Structure 1
Amino acid sequence: MSSQSVLRALPFIAILMVVIVDLISGPGVGFLPLLTLGPTFASVAGGVRRTTLVGVLALVICLPLAVYDGLLGRPQNNLTIAAIIGVTAASMLASRLRNRRERELADVRLVAEAAQRVLLRPVPRRAGDLRVALSYTSAAAEAQIGGDLYEVVTTPDGVRILIGDVQGKGLEAVETAAWVLGAFREAAYDQSELAGVVERVETSLARHLSGEKFVTAIVAQVHDGEISLLNCGHPAPLVLRHDGGVHFAEPQEEALPLGLGTLGSPRPKPHRVPFGDGDQILFYTDGVVEARDREGRFYPLIERAHLLRDADPQAALDELRADLLRHVGGPVPDDAAMLLLRRHPA
């Protein structure tokens, strides 16, 4: 039974328990005031109508129990009836306010989800001699919208890739993701060097971010036989060689996350990683590697790399996603984005 089902049954369970205890205890002990637990619990998960019905039920049950206890018509029983009516009225008001708040939160979440879908436009499935696969797993329903972002663009200088994760949640994170994606899409075509693309994004964020907000990201560019990576505080991508070798592409010098350029740390140059025919590289956000099973163990991404050997890159990535969900045993607690590039022979 789900927790929601338990909450909906709780008012009736409470009333039933009061009836049983009162009957067992006999007329000498009065438990009738505890009938107010019914409408109180009903307001937690039910609507106004349901709360009202539970309150009426408590009043109806109160009368025969008062006869059994010899309290009918006495001031003590009149106070119990007044208490049930008062608690029911208060519970109805609380239920109405809760439902209104839930609708407002649902509307905000729908707006954020819509904004996120608009920002994260579909990536091309082919770019040059690359085949591209994408997986985006939203967090649990009760979690806030995250700020995971990705983009693949084909420019005169080659295919350029962005994957990132905005610090924080909610509409503010989605707004920051919009600034990053907009700056990257423009700079990817205008800047001949990868470092210049990062500087343009950093400059754009400096005008819009406040406080200590930041964005971890990797900006990459595919060349003949290799790929350039500029890592700004993001988890290192996973490289899968066509001969079966697997390793993380750890940067020789890691840059600060985007948005922290005012700290004065110089931007390092991109590092190059061999990337030939048949090789693959998996970009991902921390929602993947920080996903835990019920025993608290992180997802062992490098141990699951063999799942990406399928002939179809998208089918391979879908299998990895399914394995991630099996590891967690339910919805992931944080958004998890994965972008797989596979280089095919010309």
Structure 2
Amino acid sequence: MEPHQPYDTYVNPENIVADSDTRSEENKAAVFAEYGIAWGKTSLNAGVRYEHTAYDYFIGGVRADDECRTYDNVFPTLSLSFPIKHVSSSLSYTMKTLRPTYTQLDGSVQYSNRYMYRKGNPLLSPQQMHDVTWMLGYRFLNVSLAYQYIKDYIDSERSLYNQEGSTSLQTYVNFKKNQQLSLLVSLSPVVGCWHPVASAYVCQPFFETQVFGKTQKHNNPMATFTLNNDFVLPKDFVLTLNMDFTTAGNIGIIQRCNYGTLNAGIRKDLLNKRLTLNLQGMDLLDTFHQKGVQYSPLIVNTYEDTYNFRQVKLTVTYRFNMTKSKYKGTGAANEEIRRL
């Protein structure tokens, strides 16, 4: 059993929005079983996970019964690995739940600026994701083709907070479904002292909502191209040059514009690799700016976020214990840490 109790206390002395005192309490228990069988180079694995989750929501220390939920879910997994001549191949199916973050569940209104307030939604249902993935690998080339179906998809949307229409309220809602096809191709050859890692990720969504009473399709594909370069120099110096670019496209109800970054650096290992010095220049061209349009039922919002990520930093790392850990797990608390 895993108990989690995030608290949120919001005090607004100006009395623009009401003060709030909320607490989320979640207890989760799960069991998992897996079976595997192999025929030569071909293997089949099947598993099932049963999960019981009890979620309680408190306002001012009083349990809000209408916002409390109990879930009992069964999640199957299935994977088949087989070679195609010299190409490794695997086909897998996974069903899992994607629970809303505790911020998304917090029902108190919070002030962002005089034009927009934010609020969570304690009535959100967890997302149920079905994932089918086919992976291929040959030497330094890897290809992954995936289809995802997400039931009760969670996204943000805006509504009018007051009758004058001068302030909007951003909150979170469940949509019936969201689907997407994605393709990931990555290459990691070694050419002398040059160690590049190049990847291309393309995502085609299939998602629609209602905007001003009409069906709005959010089906524009998006692609991300990444090239990371390590140049191994004499005397344990490594020169790095990393760049990425993301095209315009849809993520949920948002139509994003393209953006990219360029980073460079040099690092040096000392004392048998116990000590590492890493000098980096981040976002050298000052191009990490995100612009887009958010489509809600009664509001279309255009935004531009400018991040001051251009910087030079020096990182010094010293490793006191060089022995390798035998623990191979990831820890059951990692999912909860991400939700927080």
- Fold-level match, TM-score > 0.5? no
TM-score (norm. length: structure 1): 0.25
Please report the TM-score for the alignment, with normalisation by the length of structure 2: 0.25
Q: Which has the higher helix share?
A: 1
Structure with bigger strand share is 2
